[in-house]
Amino acid sequence: MATTLASEAQAFTTIHFSVNGKSVSPAVSPTERLSRVLRESLGLAGTKVGCDAGDCGACTVLLDGEQVCSCLIAAGQVEGCEITTVEGLAERAPIFDRLQNSFLRHGAAQCGICTPGMLVAATALLERDSAPSEEAVKDALAGVLCRCTGYRKIITAVMDAGLNPAIQASPAAGNAVGTRLVRLDGRGKVNGTEIFGADEFPANALSLHVIRSPHDRASFHFGDLQFYVAQHPGIARVLTAKDVPGINCYGVIPRFADQPVFAETEARFRGEAVAAVVGDADVLESMDWSSFPITWDKLPAITTIEAALESDAQRIHSKREQNILVSGRVVRGDVEKALTESAIVVAGEYETGFIEHAYIEPEAGCARRVGDTIEVQACTQSPYMDRDDIAKILGIAPDKVRIIPTAVGGGFGAKLDLSVQPFIALAAWKLNRPVRLIYSRNESILSTTKRHPSRIRMRAGATQEGRLLAVDFAADFNTGAYSSWGPTVAARVPVHASGPYNVPNYRALTRAIHTNLIPAGAFRGFGVPQAAIAQEQLYDDLADRLKIDRLEFRILNALDGTTPTVTGQILGQGTSIRACFEALKPKWQAARAECASYNDRVEGSLRKGVGIAGMWYGCGNTSLPNPSTIRVGLKPDGRIALHQGAVDIGQGSNTIITQICADALHVPIDRFDLLSGDTAISPDCGKTSASRQTFVTGKAAYIAGTSLRTALLALAQTTDPAEITLGDGSFSVKNSDGFHRIELRDLQLDAHGYVLAAEGTFDPPTSPLDENGQGSPYAVFGFGAHMAEVVVDLELGTVKVTKIMAAHDVGRAINPTLVEGQIEGGAAQGLGMALMEEFIPGKGENLHDYLIPTIGDIPVIESILIEDASPIGPYGAKGIGEQAVIPTAPAILNAIHDAIGVRVRRLPATPDRLRAAILAYKDTPRD
């Protein structure tokens, strides 16, 4: 390339370099980011983009053998260089094959969006050092963030890459459940071929830019939009609220739906959409959006819960008095009386902020109109809910909307709500052209939901012997400008705020309160993690005042399945919180002794502590139906088609549901072909949330599998006990009355193309809650307890978590590797919540101000799986996705208190907050 080019920076020039050993010469702008050139010009979408700012490392490639962020490299800078992307690692590095297999074997790829970056970084390391230490692995991979795994399995996978154990044989018929089966969708995640939201789009797709409110609250007026379009060649159209053909309103809970696709006259939060500009991608990218014809009138905004509740506060939604979206209530016994009768009463107030999901994949998708149908291909956790809302927005029937879920690069709750979908669907519908939209990191953080900030007041009383007598709990949640999952948080928290303990007198009142801030929605645990932070810390205070060991106090009060919960439910079999605590007991006692002796001896500024916290969490919707339907069919070629509609967001439903169905049908799992949650292909398996997929969809898969088995046997005119063998174009059955062989090719096919098919539907049995919140809100609860060990630096206020032990009752571990993956990933998010994570609107819509744990922050996490089968779940299984995050933060906070006597009631425990608390504590007189 010439050293100087007498043209504009945007002008294209040919750049010669090699990618994965092949010479390429794309014609691009020399200042274009290499990541874009790879993905868009060269079609190498294995390199991911999570931030465009160097913060996430998803875009890592090798440049002349060294790992670099391709989003920070100008195309012109690679002239004459050698680039290796994930797609080329297999050919470049002999060890790569083993590294990939090691990632699969260890479950080091969950959603897989960080995996290309991790693999590239690991390859650079392994080429230098084929047997790296843990520290070397951490140093080499530190630049790549992962939000799913908690990093531990990634570290192990890289350290084990040298090994080449025999390939795991596919489990025999009936043996899939319980094995550490490699995830069935794993291969594409480790070779860069997996398709995420941003990875696939037609060449003629238009792009879209959303115009968003720069103020917390503002009214606005558009200038001449037609003139604007006419003035800008390459812009096809500007869309506003007026263009919405159906209802300009959506929301995950239809009864509370209140969010417009585009605000009509007033924006209610900073980041709210008011218009969308559709046009050619390169034109939109070089636009100066400050000249978009809109004028804003900033209006007084409500940004705190206090302000929202003031008697003369402006209503954010006219129908919602006092800005209260909804209240929740569970009351049992007589709290006030029981508190006066308690030997010891403790109280505390706790506060947490917004927490960002920070999945590494920003929301992305593409929509196209096919006749009178709209197709939306995007990352989502809830295809059927998306379908119904898009249908309402476009004013068409739901069956005219097809949602094609892509692989999801992390969701954790926020991809339950619509993000890019309404915009691209509307634009594609109106323009009859494919339209795509990829959120930037900034836009993702600015406009998608967060964990609810909470303000909690709590009192708890116990008898002298340490029996919990009463809990009085009140929580306000800042639900932001729109309802999203606010009602679910307000309903779920009062059911759970007792923790997994026997509390005879109980009052829990919650409110979800609107403010002019970003909508808070679903985030792993629907408010229960915030409640547990209060409750588990307060129970420690109670145990301390009673001079009872903190773990013993919990064991003494643990639910046992025979006494009623705070909603009056008798849980019965599978109530194993005590077993979780008991499992940690020896480690707890040893750790306590170790900390005490260290703190006695030590003279410097470091103190050690250990903390414990328990957890329970109901699987599925709270007292509301949430059915899943699985279809499974026998194809004429003798293979099994499984319509696996439970979107796999990394947690592993593709694998788990298949394991369950394979064992129910009692055939080997390698006979299965998976179909996705595409709404045109698979029945509704509900949303991937509320820790329901293994339990609810798993049970549906079990039912479908057993029904198909019955149908197969009927076709063979026999019954169980029998052995079914699927052959090529036939199946055979062997049992006591002989051998039956059925040829499939001649048989008639059903509407879906199957010789035989079965559907299984399961909706967990629950009962409605009465006005005091009494009833059976969930059919099954998961239980768990975490123990955290920390070292606190008194002078700096820093905390290092040195170990986490996690005991979880999962009913049955369908796939122990995937269960551990959920536990480790949940614990990592809990650690972030305790120590570093808080989103402050307007300050830091990026991943260098919003900090999530890196590979260096996560300690060894030891999982103890307790398998106390639930009578209802498939093979006894319960959920684990949300359960895993709940006890970590309180365990860490309790460990900090154990180390230095300081209680952190305002999260996160950042160094400055903790140091201030230490100084205040030194000045407080104590008995």
Ligand X SMILES: Cc1cc2nc3c(=O)[nH]c(=O)nc-3n(C[C@H](O)[C@H](O)[C@H](O)COP(=O)(O)OP(=O)(O)OC[C@H]3O[C@@H](n4cnc5c(N)ncnc54)[C@H](O)[C@@H]3O)c2cc1C
Q: Which residues lie near ligand X (CB under 6 A)?
A: 53-55
List the structure tokens of 450: 């967060």
Closest CB to ligand FES among residues 34, 176: 34
Position among 26, 30, 46, 50 found at the interface with ligand FES (CB under 6 A): 50
Count residues contacting another protein (CB under 8 A)?
A: 70
**How far is residue 489's CA from residue 510's CA, in Å, rounded to a whole number?**
9
Q: In what order do the strands lie in the sheet with 435-438?
A: 235-239, 273-279, 206-212, 435-438, 364-370, 373-378, 401-405
Least Å distance between CB 4 and ligand X? 18
Among ligand X, ligand FES, another protein, none, what binds residue 798 when CB lies within 5 to 8 Å by partner kind? another protein
904 binds another protein per the rule CB under 8 A: no
Q: What are phi and psi of 218, to 5 degrees?
A: -165, 145
Report the b/e string of 320-352 with b at 16+ CB within 10 A. beebbbbebbbbbeebeebbeebebbbebebbb
The residue whose two tokens read 């007598």 is 469
Interface with another protein in residues 602-641 (CB under 8 A): 605
Position among 71, 385, 556, 806 found at the interface with ligand FES (CB under 6 A): 71
Interface with another protein in residues 246-285 (CB under 8 A): 285
Contact 318, 507 (CB under 8 A): no
Position among 721, 843, 923, 924 found at the interface with another protein (CB under 8 A): 843
Contact 508, 499 (CB under 8 A): no
Contact 440, 381 (CB under 8 A): no
> What is the CB-side half-sphere exposure of residue 614 using CA atoms within 13 A?
34
Nearest to 251 by CA among 50, 18, 418: 418
Closest CB to another protein among residues 72, 713: 72
Task: Tell me the three state secondary structure of residue 613.
Answer: strand
Nearest to 863 by CA among 903, 920, 816: 816
82 binds another protein per the rule CB under 8 A: no
Among ligand FES, another protein, ligand X, none, what binds residue 855 when CB lies within 5 to 8 Å by partner kind? another protein
86 binds another protein per the rule CB under 8 A: no
Residues written for the chain = 927
Contact 799, 635 (CB under 8 A): no
386 binds another protein per the rule CB under 8 A: no
51 binds ligand FES per the rule CB under 6 A: yes
Task: Tell me the three state secondary structure of residue 198.
Answer: coil
Among ligand X, another protein, ligand FES, none, what binds residue 442 when CB lies within 5 to 8 Å by partner kind? another protein
Closest CB to another protein among residues 72, 675: 72
- Contact window for ligand FES (CB under 6 A) among 57-65, 413-421, 763-771, 878-886: 57-65
- Contact window for another protein (CB under 8 A) among 245-253, 456-464, 848-856, 896-904: 848-856
CA 88 centroid distance within chain = 30
Least Å distance between CB 127 and another protein? 13
- Contact window for another protein (CB under 8 A) among 241-249, 363-371, 489-497, 852-860: 852-860
**How far is residue 82's CA from residue 455's CA, in Å, rounded to a whole number?**
54
CA 93 centroid distance within chain = 33
**How far is residue 225's CA from residue 229's CA, in Å, rounded to a whole number?**
6
- Contact window for ligand FES (CB under 6 A) among 54-62, 305-313, 395-403, 859-867: 54-62
Closest CB to ligand FES among residues 108, 418: 108
Closest CB to ligand FES among residues 706, 822: 822
Helical spans, DSSP H, in 448-576: 486-496, 528-546, 550-557
109 binds ligand FES per the rule CB under 6 A: yes
List the structure tokens of 758: 């079965």
**How far is residue 417's CA from residue 381's CA, in Å, rounded to a whole number?**
8
List the structure tokens of 746: 């001649």
Interface with another protein in residues 97-136 (CB under 8 A): 121, 124
Position among 19, 44, 73, 111 found at the interface with ligand FES (CB under 6 A): 111
Separation in Å, CA 113 to CA 134, 196, 457: 23, 8, 39
Position among 24, 38, 44, 71 found at the interface with another protein (CB under 8 A): 71
List the structure tokens of 135: 């520290």
SS3 letters across 733-745: EEECCEEEEEECC
CA-based end-to-end distance of the chain: 77
**How far is residue 54's CA from residue 552's CA, in Å, rounded to a whole number?**
47
Closest CB to ligand FES among residues 110, 569: 110
Count residues contacting ligand FES (CB under 6 A)?
A: 25
114 binds ligand FES per the rule CB under 6 A: yes
Least Å distance between CB 36 and ligand FES? 10
Contact pattern for ligand FES over residues 135 through 174, marking x by CB under 6 A:
-----------xxxx-------------------------
**How far is residue 742's CA from residue 744's CA, in Å, rounded to a whole number?**
6
**Which residue number has the CB closest to ligand X?**
54
Element housing 388 (H / E):
helix 383-394
- Contact window for ligand FES (CB under 6 A) among 109-117, 348-356, 871-879, 912-920: 109-117
Position among 19, 26, 28, 30 found at the interface with another protein (CB under 8 A): 30
Least Å distance between CB 866 and ligand X? 41
Closest CB to another protein among residues 437, 493: 437
Position among 150, 405, 410, 879 found at the interface with ligand FES (CB under 6 A): 410
Interface with ligand FES in residues 354-393 (CB under 6 A): 360
**How far is residue 126's CA from residue 527's CA, in Å, rounded to a whole number?**
42
Q: Which residues contact 73 (CB under 8 A, 6 or more apart)?
A: 33, 34, 35, 63
Closest CB to ligand X among residues 625, 856: 856
Q: What are phi and psi of 847, to 5 degrees?
A: -100, 15
Nearest-10 crossing angle of helices 888-900, 911-923? 40
Among another protein, ligand X, ligand FES, none, what binds residue 113 when CB lies within 5 to 8 Å by partner kind? ligand FES
List the structure tokens of 553: 């106090």
Closest CB to another protein among residues 258, 443: 443
One-letter amino acid identity for 3? T
Closest CB to ligand FES among residues 68, 331: 68
Among ligand X, ligand FES, another protein, none, what binds residue 124 when CB lies within 5 to 8 Å by partner kind? another protein
Contact 909, 854 (CB under 8 A): no
Contact 348, 905 (CB under 8 A): yes
Position among 15, 45, 49, 756 found at the interface with ligand FES (CB under 6 A): 49
Least Å distance between CB 14 and ligand FES? 24
Interface with another protein in residues 854-893 (CB under 8 A): 854-857
Position among 55, 258, 541, 837 found at the interface with ligand FES (CB under 6 A): 55
73 binds another protein per the rule CB under 8 A: yes
Position among 67, 84, 110, 421 found at the interface with ligand FES (CB under 6 A): 110
Contact 668, 170 (CB under 8 A): yes
Report the b/e string of 22-43 with b at 16+ CB within 10 A. eebebebbbebbbbbbbbbbbe
323 binds another protein per the rule CB under 8 A: no
Which residues of the chain form contacts with ligand FES (CB under 6 A)?
49-52, 54-59, 69, 71, 109-114, 146-149, 360, 410, 650
Which residues of the chain form contacts with another protein (CB under 8 A)?
1, 3-10, 13, 29-33, 52-55, 57, 60, 63, 66-69, 71-74, 76-77, 79, 121, 124, 138-140, 142-145, 285-286, 440, 442-443, 605, 795-798, 835-836, 840, 843-844, 848-849, 851, 853-857, 910-912, 915-916
